[in-house]
Amino acid sequence: MQARLLYVMDPMCSWCWGFAPVAQALMQQAQTAGVELHLVVGGLRTGSGAALEPTARRYILEHWQAVADTTGQPFRFEGALPTGFVYDTEPACRAVVAARSLDPHCAWILAKLIQQAFYTQGRDVTQA
């Protein structure tokens, strides 16, 4: 039986973004050692359809600040989670699953690009 590294994450999870440099290092070590990599995504915040309330928005941004302070990962706070934003991670997860079905290596790249777009560029990655 071949060893396998299974990484479970959500591209819109702030701690997953915070952990991204460590995950990248682990993946590089696994690849060097010939360990199969498998990415599993989903489940953080799906399907509510409701826009974030101001209290929830403040809570999430405080959480992001804690992740930034703890991990050193960059976050764009200005304009983040604008009024009316629906924090639904399902579309981003579906995109990664679709990429994985086409080319498993591309799923890792897309997950990273989604994280960067959401956390450092303030882009709405829930839209098609």
CB 121 within 8 A of CB 99: no
The CATH architecture of the domain made up of 4-75+85-120 is 3-Layer(aba) Sandwich (3.40)
Instruction: Indicate the helix (H) or strand (E) that contains 5.
Output: strand 4-9
Q: What pLDDT band is residue 42 in, cutting at 50, 70 and 90? A: confident
Domain boundaries along the sequence of the chain: 4-75+85-120
Please state the pTM of the whole predicted model.
0.92
Question: What DSSP assignment string belongs to 32-56?
Answer: HTT-EEEEEE--SS-S--PPPPHHH
To which residue do tokens 């930034």 refer? 68
d(CA 56, CA 3): 41
pLDDT per position as a tens digit, 12-30: 999 999 999 999 999 999 9
Q: Residue 48 has what pLDDT?
A: 75
